[in-house]
Amino acid sequence: MPSTTSWLRLKNLSFWGQHGHSSSERELGNRFELDVELKTDFSEAAQSDNLDHTIDLRAVYEIARHRIEKESYALIETLSMTIAQDILNAFSVESVTVRLRKVAPPLPGATTGVMEAEVTLVP
């Protein structure tokens, strides 16, 4: 079977974390949304229908959940890079892209916006 480039994606994962520059952000916490894209060749898994031949997305989820819910960072840039690096260290992939959104950032005035950091790492 020829080699292919494939994507595995986790989208719109939601977590509660205590990250931010200010002490109030770290104390009160905020909702974070996460997308993870893994570029890999999953042709062997598709052919075998065997989880051992692909990336267990539950393990990817747990890496992200631990970093977001159990640790605290001042910057979402640091948090997104750390999650991406953890995933890259744990799995054989061509690249990993992490998009992390702070849903209600502490901005002055009324806002419905989000703060987002995106990082792509290639081994």
Helical axes 76-90 vs 57-70, angle rounded to 10°: 150
Residue span of the structural domain in which 61 resides: 6-121
Look up 39 and say whether it is catalytic: no
In angstroms, the CA 80 to CA 76 distance is 6
Given a cut of 90, is residue 88 above it in pLDDT? yes
Q: Which residues pair with 10 in a beta bridge?
A: 36
Is there a domain that residue 1 lies in?
no
Is there a domain that residue 83 lies in?
yes
Burial environment of residue 46 by CB neighbours within 10 A (0 to 12, 13 to 18, 19 or more): middle
Q: What is the CATH number of the domain that holds 53?
A: 3.30.1130.10
- The single residue of 11, 39, 70, 102 carrying the catalytic annotation is 102
Per the confidence metrics, is the pTM higher than 0.75? Answer: yes
Task: Check if the beta carbon of residue 19 is closer than 8 Å to that of residue 79.
Answer: yes
Report residue 56: phi and psi, to 5°. Answer: -75, 110
The mean predicted confidence, pLDDT, of the chain is 91
Q: CA 113, 118, 41: angle at the middle one, nearest 5?
A: 135
Q: CA 116, 121, 123: angle at the middle one, nearest 5?
A: 170
| Structure confidence at residue 3 as a pLDDT band (50, 70, 90) | low
pLDDT in tens, 24-82: 888 989 999 999 999 999 888 889 999 889 999 999 999 999 999 999 999 999 999 99
| Integer angstrom CA distances of residue 120 from 37, 86, 110, 123 | 9, 12, 31, 10
Q: How many domains does the chain have?
A: 1
